[in-house]
Amino acid sequence: MESDSTLSKIAPKSVLITMSVVVVVFGISTLSGSLGVDFQNPKFLMSQMMTNFYLIIIYAFMYGMAFQMVSDEGKFGWFRKYMYLIFPGFLMLFMFLKSWMIYSANLNAYCPKDGDSSIKRNYKMSLVLWNAVKPVISIFVVYFFVNMFQFFQLPFYELFNDSHPIIYFLAVGFWLACATFPTEASSYFSLQKFGCMPVDKITFEDINGLPDPTNPPTTTV
């Protein structure tokens, strides 16, 4: 009974049930391999979108639980004081590293190699880094709007029929997860089309010895 009351203080039962379903579905999807397809698979984009969605929702819930457990006056009081900066900050860093590692590894296997051992990578690192920044930008912009306009959060309080503080984190996490969908699609198509290094080499030859097409040589009989 005491453990039930402790859990209800951290999150309402409806929220706990919802998160249990999310974790189970994420685990099943991961174990079944539907979230681990390679870059050449047409399902890669959808796989990354759903991975982002599950991870961000779980992150928001875990962060909200940690926020509930920390007091204002303890040694971790700074956590509550700067929680509006830490919450998106950690998420933006995580999404950048995740996108950078996923696309670097997949492009390394996807892009053709020309056999030149002097070339260390066969993909454009600068383009990978730029596309890894895209979800970071979308998270920053959407986080600002969700906090500025409260009507983005109201449907979640109505859905769970509760005003518990953790619902705020779930609401923000949901919109941030959705914000990564268009940027993930943009990154995927951009890197698929332009991410590989060109393998065709341009060679220069001396044309001094070639005949002039405007003044072909004449033969004498």
Could you list the residue range(s) of the whole structural domain that residue 63 is in?
A: 12-110+120-194
Does residue 87 belong to any structural domain of this protein? yes
Report residue 41 as tokens: 């698979």
Per the structure, the count of domains in the chain is 1
197 within 8 A of 122, measured Cβ to Cβ: yes
- 144-177 pLDDT per residue, tens: 999 998 889 999 999 998 888 899 999 999 999 9
Does residue 1 belong to any structural domain of this protein? no
Q: pLDDT band for 198, please (50, 70, 90 cuts).
A: confident
Q: pLDDT band for 212, please (50, 70, 90 cuts).
A: low
Does residue 96 belong to any structural domain of this protein? yes
Q: pTM of the prediction?
A: 0.82
Least confident of 16-30, 106-120, 166-180: 106-120
CA proximity to 87, closest of 140, 19, 134: 140
Report residue 86 as tokens: 């830490």
Does residue 2 belong to any structural domain of this protein? no
Does residue 4 belong to any structural domain of this protein? no
Does residue 7 belong to any structural domain of this protein? no
Cα separation of 111 and 159, whole Å? Answer: 46
Question: What radius of gyration, in Å, describes the C-alpha atoms of the chain?
Answer: 26
- 29-57 pLDDT per residue, tens: 888 877 778 888 888 999 999 999 999 99
Q: What is the DSSP string of the chain?
A: -HHHHHHHHHS-HHHHHHHHHHHHHHHHHHHHTTT---TTSTTHHHHHHHHHHHHHHHHHHHHHHHHHHS-SSSTTHHHHHTHHHHHHHHHHHHHHHHHHHHHHHHHHHHS---S-TT---SB-HHHHHHHHHHHHHHHHHHHHHHHH-GGGTHHHHHHHT---THHHHHHHHHHHHHHHHHHHHHHHHHHHHH-BPP-PPP-----TTSPPTTS------
Q: What percent of the chain lies above the pLDDT cut of 90?
A: 50
Highest mean pLDDT pick, 45-59, 101-115, 197-211? 45-59
Does residue 46 belong to any structural domain of this protein? yes
Does residue 188 belong to any structural domain of this protein? yes
161 CB-near residues (< 8 Å, 6+ apart):
14
Residue type, 42: P
176 within 8 A of 56, measured Cβ to Cβ: yes
